[in-house]
A and B are shown apart, each in its own frame.
Chain A
Amino acid sequence: MDLGLDVEERDGYAVLSVRGEVDVYTAPRFRERLIELVGEGRHRIIVDLEGVDFLDSTGLGVLVGGLKRLRSHDGDLLLVCTQSRILKVFEITGLTKVFSIFDSVDAAVGGDSDGEGKII
């Protein structure tokens, strides 16, 4: 099972696009990639979940860990997600109140200043 993890630069943010299924098998690679980025001094990260087909609590744990790590560096971790089945996992666990979730990378890049495109 492949997990795609591509990084690109967008207006001061590292955008990590995740593709595939995030579960107990693939989550360690996702966690390592996030830790690498933080280690490279990338403290403003957008995780784009639009290509994710499946995400369970292990994936949520990686995101919570990433957010905690970034906040300790005065950074932030923003999410991009419009898929209802993925959003539902955040809603059930109450994590919609912990993460800022946007409907596109563009909205996330600009959205933390004006709130536009922030869906949750």
Chain B
Amino acid sequence: MPEEAGAGEVIELEIPARAEFVALARLVVSALAASDSNLADERIDDLKLAVSEACTNAIEAHDAAGSDERVLLRCRTDDDSLEICVEDRGHGFDPSQLPDHPPVTDPDRLKFERGLGIPLIRALVDEVEFSPTGHGTAVRLVMRNGANGAR
């Protein structure tokens, strides 16, 4: 009998760096979270959204760099957590250099149609880390079993 993917297994998914494949990344991650973690449905939705944001950023980074390489998702589960790492091969970026949005009550807030992805990721997952890989950026998203989730 084939062994089920279980605790400690690493699953890798490579997607072409094109917008239509972000839905596939979401589908794979949410299916994995549903089968191999104890995350509640609401937290799986949070993870799905965070993965979507990270993949969107990765694809935009590839686009900006003119790279036709693939985006790599590495998923790892253990007893305590589910970790998804999204690696791009773009030019890299420093999340601490992102501009702050004006307060929502400021009319200038409407000038910001972009830049909401990183704040969403930070709010949705239990742990996030952006790190340069030498070829691009790796975004590590961690959801812990039993954590309460997004505020």
Contacts and interface: CB of A to CB of B under 8 A. Distances in A.
Interface of B is mostly: helix
Contacts of A23: 19, 22-23, 26, 52, 56
A54 B26 contact: yes
Interface stretch (A11-19, A37-45, A90-98, A110-118): A90-98
A51 to B, nearest CB: 17
A105 to B, nearest CB: 24
B52 A92 contact: no
Nearest to A61: B113
Interface string A29-56: 0000000000000000000000000101
Contact of B48 (A54, A61, A67, A88): A54
Interface of A is mostly: helix
Interface stretch (B77-85, B114-122, B139-147): B114-122
Given A54-B52, A88-B150, A89-B49, A25 B117 contact: no
B123 interface: yes
A119 interface: no
Nearest to B101: A94
Interface of B: 19-20, 22-23, 26, 42, 45, 48-49, 52-53, 56, 59-60, 103-105, 109-114, 116-117, 119-120, 123-124, 150-151
Interface of A: 1, 21, 23-25, 54, 56-58, 60-62, 64-65, 67-68, 71, 85, 88-89, 92-95, 97-98
10 contacts: A1-B20, A56-B56, A56-B117, A58-B56, A61-B114, A62-B113, A64-B110, A85-B42, A92-B119, A92-B120
